[in-house]
Amino acid sequence: MNPSMSHLTSKDYKQIYEPSDDTWLFVDALESEKNVLKDCRICLEIGSGSGYVSAYLNKLVNSDNHKCFFFAVDINENAAVATTNTFKHNNSFPFCDVVLTSFGDALCSRLHNSIDVLLFNPPYVPSEDDELGFNNIVASYAGGECGRQVIDQFLPRVKNLLSNDGIFYLILIQENKPEEVIDIMSRPEYGGFNGQIIRKKKVLGEILFVTKFTKIKSNN
Q: Which residues make Cβ contacts (< 8 Å) with residue 169, sequence separation at least 6?
A: 26, 29, 30, 117, 118, 119, 120, 210, 211, 212, 213
Q: What is residue 219's predicted lDDT score, i.e. its pLDDT?
A: 61
3-state secondary structure 100-115: ECCCCHHHCCCCCCCE
Residue 157 clears pLDDT 90, i.e. is over it: yes
- Phi/psi zone of residue 105: left (φ > 0), alpha (ψ -120 to 50 degrees), beta? alpha
Spatial distance between the Cα atoms of 95 and 174, rounded to a whole number of angstroms:
35
Q: What is residue 111's predicted lDDT score, i.e. its pLDDT?
A: 93
Write the pLDDT tens digit of every residue in 173-191: 999 999 999 999 999 999 9
Hey, which bits of the chain come out as E strands? 42-46, 69-74, 96-100, 115-120, 162-173, 193-203, 206-215
Spatial distance between the Cα atoms of 7 and 105, rounded to a whole number of angstroms:
29
| 22 in Cβ contact with 200 (< 8 Å) | no
Q: What is residue 220's predicted lDDT score, i.e. its pLDDT?
A: 54
Spatial distance between the Cα atoms of 7 and 169, rounded to a whole number of angstroms:
27
Write the pLDDT tens digit of every residue in 14-35: 999 999 999 999 999 999 999 9
Q: What is residue 114's predicted lDDT score, i.e. its pLDDT?
A: 97
**Structural domains of the chain in order of their starting residue, each with its CATH number:** 12-215 (3.40.50.150)
Give the pTM. Answer: 0.96
Write the pLDDT tens digit of every residue in 86-137: 999 999 988 899 999 988 888 888 899 999 999 999 999 999 988 999 999 9
